[in-house]
Chains A and B, each alone.
Chain A
């Protein structure tokens, strides 16, 4: 090996930064094995060369977000799902704001009839974004609200309906069945809908995100991911395994509590940010 900058400490440091960015053991080991192999094969001796190989190997693990499947028909429907407090309602406000600015005729459905003041929360956001919100009473059947909202969206010629749902833990059988029912209501009203099912993951979450991905995908056929709260110091490295497992691309990143704090996912930016401590 002789004149190499790369030693045991290099690998230990890399492993530590992977783990601390929440990549998880499996992804960490896969990437480290690949790096060690490549380093040996290509005779890499400098840490800055290694850095380049590392980043490129991580870029390759994620896909850039494809365009959302929300055009080319009268009414497109996005269903938003996720565990409690992950940032669903706030992300809906941000999406509504974004699509309205792009000239879309957006409407929101207050499908969380369970959590205290969830309806008022969405209504407040609706006012701020300047988009109508279809809601019913607290405690009412979410499927019925969703049905009403679809009718209203069609009647008022909205071309994009975004549906909020109550937070639920993926291991709660009954609540996951309820979500399936909501999905079925949508598909019955508009045959190829929902056109996007976006799973909202809290960027501070660790390895449990993988199970969230699996269970929500099973129940609702998730088509994309939103990772929130990456304006803090959390890295969100768990998305590598979620993406691998669920196969749904990260579409957006939440970077704050304001209505404009949502950006499209950028693989390079994300990966580079993982190691800026």
Chain B
């Protein structure tokens, strides 16, 4: 059913005949193909419009490279633009704030925060740091059990106090416990929430105020649709996210949400989750090329 974008573009240019210079009409037809491909990949509409606009500007009048056919030229421009928009894999930023550094995991319900928290702890340990997990989700049934089970499974120290205290207090006391345990990085697992849930977003602000995180990572599902823009904007406006984690990349979603979220927040994508297992193999540095190819269906 799905025709790859480069195939589509080739057909378009073949139909147009195609000279040495990419003309405005060529570009117009090609941009329709690009728009369709991006929308099929779940890139959010406003982001598609911007993206197509930038590609169009670069493509009009572009001298066709000697060795490239016109559709290949446009594909090249799209690739470059996609790479620029997705950006490099972001690194964690531990400069500045005092130790231990705090990382807050935030996001919608079921996006993969708890799983990613445990994977991130493993990753940090491999980097030679001393990670520590804090179970600050008191809402979802057995969320504390889940984090504790994972922490034990991969042998990372943790703090929990059940579900009767307030998440803001647990976060603060967890930070103290981490200091006492000589941890260098504290990962706080928070409950899933909708970005429009004012009360729960206020709670996140409060956790942030009390723990002064070096990183606030928005954990997002690669299957997310057009809603990606609202999610990323909502979390960013309330708590100021510093990075994105894209989960469930082992699925076959085209992953346009990555482009949308990156574009509206300007915040780098730092990691990708590629499996349910808690392991170093299922938690990877973000690969812009791989995601670009997926979004473009190439």
Pair B252/A171 contact, Cβ less than 8 Å: yes
- Given contacts A25-B40, A116-B146, A233-B196, is CB(A206)–CB(B256) below 8 Å? yes
Q: Which residue from B44, B142, B221, B225 sits with its C-beta under 8 Å from A120?
A: B142
Cβ distance A138 to chain B, nearest Cβ, rounded Å = 8
Q: Is B19 an interface position by the 8 A CB rule?
A: no
- In the complex, chain A residues whose CB is within 8 Å of the CB of B150: 116
- For B110, give its contact among A20, A21, A85 (CB under 8 Å): A85
A144 within 8 A of B: no
Q: Are B225 and A204 in contact (CB under 8 A)?
A: yes
Chain B residues near A170: list those with CB within 8 A: 251-252
| Interface residues in chain B, defined as those with a beta carbon under 8 Å from any beta carbon in chain A | 36, 39-42, 44-45, 108-112, 139-143, 145-146, 149-150, 153, 194-196, 221, 223-227, 230-231, 248, 250-254, 256-257, 276
- Interface size of A by Cβ–Cβ distance < 8 Å? 44
- Residue of chain B at shortest CB distance from A212: B223
Residues in chain A within 8 A of chain B (CB atoms): 16, 19-22, 24-25, 83-87, 114-118, 120-121, 123-125, 128, 167, 169-172, 202, 204-209, 211, 229, 231-235, 238, 257
Which 4 pairs across A and B sit closest by C-beta, in order of nearness? A206-B225, A85-B110, A206-B42, A117-B145
A207 touches B42 (CB 8 A): yes
A-B contact pairs, 28 of them (CB 8 A): A19-B39, A19-B226, A20-B45, A20-B226, A21-B226, A25-B40, A83-B223, A85-B221, A115-B276, A116-B150, A116-B153, A120-B141, A121-B146, A125-B141, A169-B251, A169-B252, A170-B251, A171-B251, A172-B250, A204-B221, A204-B225, A206-B227, A206-B253, A211-B252, A229-B110, A233-B230, A234-B230, A257-B139
Q: Whose C-beta in chain A lies nearest to the C-beta of B152? A: A116
- Say yes or no: A229-B140 contact (C-beta < 8 A), given A208-B252, A208-B253, A238-B225: no
A204 and B140 form a contact (CB under 8 A): no
| Contact A206–B111 (Cβ < 8 Å) | no
Q: CB-CB < 8 A to B109: which residues of A?
A: 85, 87, 229, 257
What are the residues of chain A within 8 A of B248 when measuring CB–CB?
83-85, 169
